[in-house]
Structure 1
């Protein structure tokens, strides 16, 4: 998925660029490798996106890596897309903390129609701060 998107974007940029820049575009060092068979778990993504847009809570049945099922009420903040996996970053009422949930491990989900007690913008800022505080000292992100 990402590899195809990168290839398509570079092809379009190359087609619109002057001939002398086309060679340089091919040597920019952009790499999006394929790791295993890509999976597409798009079931429920539209519900998650809508909950993020409307700032509504979701009720999910989640299966952990250890195969433990838990029911959770989450306040989705963001979606992240990686090659073969999608994550939901959310405030989890059960853990009273920000958690990341793999979409392919969400067995069921439903919108509760209940707004978050804070705005998504505020939650996103708090999530970013929480992520920054979890980074090992002396190690800055690569991007």
Structure 2
């Protein structure tokens, strides 16, 4: 670990981890599709997205999940300190054209395990005031 992040001994349940706003536009979705190999047209074609009952083009769930954990990685000071990360996809993030969708991420320390040397960070991930990821938790090893 880099030593830049928080110390286990001074971390308590309820401590804030931070807040992050992630702006998602269509260009970002296209770049993510190319990098991930997920070329499903619901992520870039309004007609197809609407035909399957969506409000329009939606962000990739894994993109949203990846963007959310960035808050924890930055807080910890080392992406390798994240030893477990779980969530449930609960609602899509509709991405307008033109414009951006804004995903808001907040994190707090939900548990401290001094024996294991880890903390559990609970994330709240919302779009338009509603949770888009549910039960989002990361376990982080701290020194």
Using structure 2 for the length normalisation, give the TM-score. 0.24
Larger-Rg structure: 1
Larger strand fraction of residues: 2
Using structure 1 for the length normalisation, give the TM-score. 0.24
**Greater relative contact order (Cα < 8 A, sep 6+):** 2
